[in-house]
Amino acid sequence: MALENRRRVVITGAGCLSCLADSPGGLHAALVAGHSGLKAIELFSTDAIGCHQAGEIRPFDAQAYLPDRNLRPIDRTSRLLLVAAGKALAASGRPLEVAERDDGEIGLVLGTTFCSLRTIAEFDRRNLQLGPSYASPLDFANSVINAAAGQAAIWFGLRGLNSTISAGAASGLAAVGYATDQIRGGRANALLAGGAEELCFESFFGHYQAGRLCGSAGNRNEEKGEVPIPFDARRNGFALAEGAALMMLEDAAAAAERGAPVLAEVLGHGSGFDPLGTPESAARAVARAIRLALEEAGLGPLDVDALSAGANGSVDADRWEAAGVAAALGARAEILPVTAVKSMLGEALGASGGLQLVALLGTLEDGVLPGILGLEQTEEGFPFPGASPNARRLPGHRGSGAVTALATTLSADGHAWAVLLGSWRGSA
């Protein structure tokens, strides 16, 4: 579709919950200050596991954010989502009076890997222990992977388009891409998009047994122990985390009509998949994702001011993602400011993409990109000399103060996604 005739998609509000902060501004400040949200787990016992640290959200009292309503039927994943959704709706001024072009309804596109693996497993275990007649009906309702999106729709009356997308750590970026397509295609005017994922024993244990965590038995880095250090030569896995992050995506014209403040524009998105599990195939998938995002935006590598990589400390994926970005951006990679916020947030799977983008909103506003906490030595051939452990102000962006920032992810299973955000530059 020609750029001139195409509907533009803007972000008019955001809400988030993470181990570091429960607001977009708080998140950006904490990341820029180099704080880590990783801590000893209290949510469940880690006695049976050799790893004890994660990006747990603590304290988390959903009732404090959502007073006066019954939370019993709502499990942790859904609670995280409800809180983030409420914040995003409030921040965007809840556009109930959207133009009559459609029925004025708000929808939700949610990225999640498991929804609630805990609910599913507990439902099953209760059945095994007490018999099928004592299985929990409420838990069963929450055992479908689209349960959280459904709960949020009921809670807030979101009768617009509602979908759930799963692509591992890339789920959130995928959800934003999907939502962008729906708005450009005229199927929706306002969609909450992002992701949610809870920390639970089953997921943590499973990732540990798969050797993916930075403190997994086969992974333990003698010097660093259980600390994830994306892109660092000593990295040996990621730290699991939880969270929820949603942005209100709207048709730019509709947003202008209701006088909504615009935080950023979604310029483009793209994806790829690595079917072979080789360095070349993985890098190709990432490069494809970026290329498609730039094409959609009508931009080129030189227009990218900053990169928020999804790198989380995984030995191979971090390297392959970097190679893919370098392949797509060419010479631009050599001076590109790069961050990897999972050095501080951990890997929140379905919530990660949303958190990356919400954090970038802060960078778009003040031109400051967080550093990569703990980065000390990169490996040979690492393509980003611009990567630093310290936050930095983006070099003069052509004097206009406008920023174009790229968020990428390469999931553990080969899903590559890219979303390009830009400062809102003009009228719809």
Partner 1 sequence: MKSRIAVTGLGLVTPIGEGRQEVWEGLLAGRSGFAPVESFDTRGFSAHLGAEVRGFDPAPWVRRQDPAALGRASQLAIAAARQALDDAGLDPEALEPERAGVAMGTTSGEPREVERFDDKYLAGELEQVGDEFMGLYPCHMIAAHVARELGFAGDNTMIPTACAAGNYAIAHAVDVLRAGRADVMLAGGADSFSRITYTGFARLGAIAPERCQPFDRNRKGMIPGEGAAVLVLEPLERALARGARVYAELAGYGLSCDAHHMTAAHPEGDGAARAMQRALADAGAVPADVSYISAHGTGTPTNDRLETLAVKRVFGAAAKNTPMSSIKSMIGHTMGAASAIEAAVCALAVALDRIPPTMNLEEPEEDLDYVPNTARDLRVVLAMNNAYAFGGNNASVILRKHEA
Partner 2 sequence: MSSNAEEIRTRIKQIIANVAGLNAGRINDDAKLREDLKLDSLSLLEIGVDVDLAYKLELPDERYKEIDSLPAMVDLVQQRLGEREMQPKAVLG
> Binding residues for partner 2, per CB under 8 A?
69-73, 130, 133-138, 141
Give me 22's structure tokens.
Answer: 């429960």
Query: Does position 365 bind partner 1 by CB under 8 A?
Result: no
Q: How far is the CB of 134 from partner 2 (least distance, A)?
A: 5
Q: Is 211 in the site for partner 1 (CB under 8 A)?
A: yes
Pick the closer one to partner 1 by CB: 28 or 291.
291
Binding partner at 149 among partner 2, partner 1, none, C-beta below 5 to 8 Å by kind = partner 1
Is 3 a binder of partner 1 (CB under 8 A)?
no
Chosen residue from 6, 159, 393, 425 binding partner 1 by CB under 8 A: 159
| Min separation Cβ 79 and partner 2, Å | 12
Asked if 166 interacts with partner 1 (CB under 8 A), we say: yes
Strands (E), 252-329: 264-273, 306-308
First to last CA, the chain: 16
For the bound state, the minimum distance from the C-beta of residue 148 to partner 2, rounded and expressed in Å, comes to 16
By CB atoms closer than 10 A (0-12, 13-18, 19+), residue 335 is exposed
SS3 assignment for 9-31: EEEEEEEEECCCCCCHHHHHHHH
Cβ nearer to partner 1, comparing 378 with 408: 408
Size of the site for partner 1 (CB under 8 A): 82
State which of residues 140, 256, 332, 365 lies at the interface with partner 1 (CB under 8 A).
Answer: 140
Among 263, 264, 292, 369, contact with partner 1 (rule: CB under 8 A): 292
Could you tell me if 38 and 58 are in contact, meaning their C-beta atoms sit under 8 angstroms apart?
no
Give the residue with the Cβ less far from partner 2, 69 or 125: 69
Tokens matching residue 164: 């759930």
Q: Does the protein bind partner 1 through residue 123 (CB under 8 A)?
A: yes
Nearest to 165 by CA among 128, 111, 117: 111
| Binding window for partner 1 (CB under 8 A); candidates: 58-66, 221-229, 280-288, 362-370 | 280-288
**Binder of partner 1 out of 168, 243, 362, 367 (CB under 8 A):** 168
DSSP helix/strand/coil, 406:
strand
130 binds, among partner 2, partner 1, none (CB under 5 to 8 A by kind): partner 2
> Which one of partner 1, partner 2, none is in contact with 342 (Cβ closer than 5 to 8 A by kind)?
none
* Rg of the chain in Å (alpha carbons): 20
143 makes contact, choosing from partner 1, partner 2, none, with CB < 5 to 8 Å by partner type, with partner 1
Residue 144 touches which of partner 1, partner 2, none (Cβ within 5-8 Å per kind)? partner 1
Q: CB nearer to partner 2: give 69 or 425.
A: 69
Comparing CB distances to partner 2, the nearer of 59 and 67 is 67
Residue 167 or residue 387: which is nearer to partner 1 going by CB? Answer: 167
The H-assigned helical ranges of 298-338 are 315-329
> Residue 109: in which H helix or E strand, if any?
strand 106-111
| Rounded CA separation 264/280 (Å) | 33
> Cα–Cα distances in Å, from 257 out to 3, 98, 184, 260, 427?
21, 8, 17, 8, 11
Q: Does 117 bind partner 1 (CB under 8 A)?
A: yes
According to DSSP, residue 307 is labeled: E
**Alpha carbon separation from 160 to 7, 149, 182, 192, 213 (Å, rounded):** 18, 12, 11, 10, 38
Q: Using alpha carbons only, what angle is made at residue 14 by residues 8 and 17, rounded to the nearest 5 degrees?
A: 145
Instruction: Give Cα 312 to chain centroid, integer Å.
Output: 12
